[in-house]
Each structure stands twice: as structure tokens, then as C-alpha cells.
Amino acid sequence: MNEVPVIAIDGPTASGKGTVAQRVAAALGWHYLDSGALYRLVALRALQAGVAADDVAALTRLARSLRPQFDAGRVCLDGRDVTDEIRREDVGALASRIAVHPPLRAALLDLQRGFRCPPGLVADGRDMATVVFPDAGLKVFLTASVEARAGRRHKQLSEKGFPSNIAILLQDLRARDERDSSRSAAPLRPAKDARQLDSSDLSIEQVVAQILRWHGER
């Protein structure tokens, strides 16, 4: 049994879990796993190699041979910094489409569990609490209204210089939510023992403070 403590933070896309999880990890001096980045890296590789979204065998091979390097908030794949590329909307949409395949998900399990190193891990994704780290000491399900999430995504994208349209973002978020929650393999849903937190009207600081309070109560 792995004794290294884990805080699992799951939730829908653009719920703010990435920023929140990174800040919680920094506050505790723990490691951080952005599991969505792994699905995005597989999607990016599939786009580059011309692999179709339903070619499960080829996608699973891509996932199995994935050797990303995470360092100081940047991610490198095959010797190239792809931090900004994997944030593109087309890469995120493909990540969501290929994440429905159970063999691909299974191929990423060991890679994800390998991030569990002392003194602890804060992991963010969709199935951190339900599948990857079911023994996590604290499980948080972070939500926010689709309007709040579209607004945040719009701001994020325009800060990076990518133009975006709120109506299209709303449509894309709804489609992504639907696909991530209705798939049969590891659907997005709170673990039975997860604490739910709606961040629609909370600042990042308030969300981080709440999670650290919950952690401190344990």
C-alpha cells in the first residue's frame, strides 16, 4: 500500500481545478499532477501522427509510450515544449473524445500513479478520486456554473492572445460536460466520499483556503 498522501480534485472543464490544485500543492510543498494534460498530450500526438479519434489500438500505443517531462509549470514531449499547444481548444476537444476509450485510460494509469511521491500529491482531473487514487485522504469535487466557466475560459484565452467567442465556448463546454459525464469508462462524477465545492461565486483564494481547511481538519 502506498502511504504517500493524496488530495484528489476532480471537476468539469474550466472549473478552476488546475489553478486551485497547483496552489494547494504549492502551499503544502507537495507534487502536482495535471492528469488532463496527459490526455491532451495523447491528443496532440494523435493530431501530429494523423491517428483517428476512434483508432483505439493506435491511440493506446501512443499513450503507452508517452514520456512527458513536467518541470516548473512547463511540459515537454519528445524534446519539445508543448505547454501552450496542448491548451488549444482543438486539442482539448480531441482529448475529451479519445478519453472515452478504456484501453487508453488503462494505459495512462501507471504514469499517473507514478506522480505519487513523498511528501504528497495533489492530483486534478475527472477520475482522480474514483479510479486513479480511490484511497486519497481528501477528495474534492469542484464545480462552477457553465456560464462562470465560459467566462473564465474566455478571459484565460484572451490573456494568452487567442481570440474566442463566449457563445461558442458555452456550446463547447456543454458538449464536453455531456461527453465527460455520460461516457461509460470513468465518467465525471463525484466520488461517494467527495466534498463538493461550487466555485461560481468564490475567488481562487477562497477555494484554496477551503481545501486547505478541509485538509487541516484531517
- Tell me the closest approach of the beta carbon of residue 100 to ligand DC, in angstroms: 8
Among 33, 92, 139, 215, binds ligand DC (CB under 6 A): 92
Q: What is the DSSP letter of 128?
A: I
The one among 5, 7, 9, 13 contacting ligand DC by CB under 6 A? 13
Hey, which residues between 111 and 130 contact ligand DC (CB under 6 A)? 125-127
Using a 10 angstrom Cβ sphere, with 0-12 exposed, 13-18 middle and 19 or more buried, the burial of residue 68 is middle
Who's near 98: CB < 8 A, 6+ residues apart? 39, 42, 43, 46, 53, 59, 104
Residue 139 binds ligand DC (CB under 6 A) = no
Counting every residue written for the chain, the total comes to 218
Q: Find the binder of ligand DC among 77, 82, 99, 197 (CB under 6 A).
A: 99
Label residue 56 exposed, middle or buried (CB < 10 Å: 0-12, 13-18, 19+): middle
Least gap, CB of 164 to ligand DC (angstroms): 15
Query: Closer to ligand DC at the Cβ: 61 or 88?
Result: 88
Residue 141: strand, helix, or coil: strand
C-beta of 77 vs 213, nearer to ligand DC: 77
Binding site for ligand DC (CB under 6 A): 13, 35-36, 39-40, 92, 95-96, 99, 125-127, 176, 180
